[in-house]
Amino acid sequence: MAIAWIMTVYTLNFNYLSYMSIRNSETHKIKKKMNYNVKTCPLVTIQLPIYNEKYVAARLINAICRLDFPKERLEIQVLDDSDDETSDIIGTLVDKYNKVGFSITVFRRVNRSGYKAGALKEGLKFAKGEFIAIFDADFIPASDFLRKALSYFDDSKIGLVQARWGHINEMYSILTKAQAVSLDFHFFIEQKAKSLTHLFMNFNGTAGIWRTICIKDAGGWHTSTLVEDLDLSFRAQMKGWKCMFDENLVVNAELPVQMNAAKRQQFRWAKGSVQVAKKLLIILLFHRKLPIDTKIQIFIQLTKHIINPLFLIQFLIFPILLLTNYQIYDTAWAPAVGLVIYLLMGPVTYMIMIRKIWRENWRTKALHYLFMIFYATGISINNSVAIFDALFGRRNEFLRTPKFGIMEKNQDWKNNKYVLPFTKTTLLEIFFGAYGCVTIAISLLSGNPIFVPLIALQTIGFIYVAYLSIIQSKNSDNKASLYLGPSTKYSLQDVKANDPLT
Question: What element of type H or E holds 427?
Answer: helix 425-445
pLDDT at 88 > cutoff 50: yes
Instruction: Give the span between the Cα atoms of 80 and 214, in whole angstroms.
Output: 24
pLDDT tens by residue, 112-169? 999 999 999 999 999 999 999 999 999 999 999 999 999 999 999 999 999 999 999 9
- 464-468 — which CB contacts under 8 Å span 24+ positions? 464/374, 464/375, 464/378, 465/259, 465/263, 465/374, 465/375, 465/377, 465/378, 465/379, 465/382, 465/429, 466/378, 466/426, 466/429, 466/430, 466/433, 468/175, 468/259
Asked whether the beta carbons of 243 and 201 are under 8 A apart, the reply is: yes
Q: Kindly state the DSSP code that residue 424 receives in the 8-state scheme.
A: T
Q: Kindly state the DSSP code that residue 135 receives in the 8-state scheme.
A: -
pLDDT tens by residue, 357-385? 999 899 999 999 999 999 999 999 999 99
Name residue 156's amino acid: S
Confidence of residue 342 (pLDDT cuts 50, 70, 90): low
155 tagged catalytic: no
Q: What is the pLDDT of residue 356?
A: 93
pLDDT at 77 > cutoff 60: yes
- Tell me what the pLDDT averaged over the chain comes to: 89
Asked whether the beta carbons of 276 and 231 are under 8 A apart, the reply is: yes
Which among 80, 81, 231, 389 is annotated as catalytic?
81
Q: Which of 230-244, 249-263, 449-463, 482-496 has the lowest mean pLDDT?
A: 482-496
Q: Which residue, among 69, 374, 385, has the nearest Cα to 209 in the 3D structure?
A: 69
> If DSSP codes are grouped into helix, strand and coil, which group holds residue 324?
coil
- Domain assignments of the chain as residue spans, ordered by start: 2-16+304-497, 27-254
pLDDT at 478 > cutoff 60: no
Confidence of residue 30 (pLDDT cuts 50, 70, 90): low
Confidence of residue 348 (pLDDT cuts 50, 70, 90): confident
Range 26-34 average pLDDT: 60
Instruction: Give the span between the Cα atoms of 209 and 219, in whole angstroms.
Output: 17
Domain 27-254 is in which class? alpha beta
Residues of the chain with pLDDT > 90: what percent? 75
pLDDT tens by residue, 238-273? 999 999 999 999 999 999 999 999 999 999 999 999
Which among 136, 138, 184, 229 is annotated as catalytic?
229
> If DSSP codes are grouped into helix, strand and coil, which group holds residue 142?
coil
Q: What is the pLDDT of residue 328?
A: 59
81 tagged catalytic: yes
pLDDT tens by residue, 49-72? 999 999 999 999 999 999 999 999
CA atoms within 13 A on the CB side of 277: 21
Range 379-398 average pLDDT: 90
Q: What is the pLDDT of residue 340?
A: 58
Task: Check the CA dihedral 107-113-116-117 and report its sign.
Answer: negative
Q: What is the pLDDT of residue 191?
A: 97
pTM: 0.90
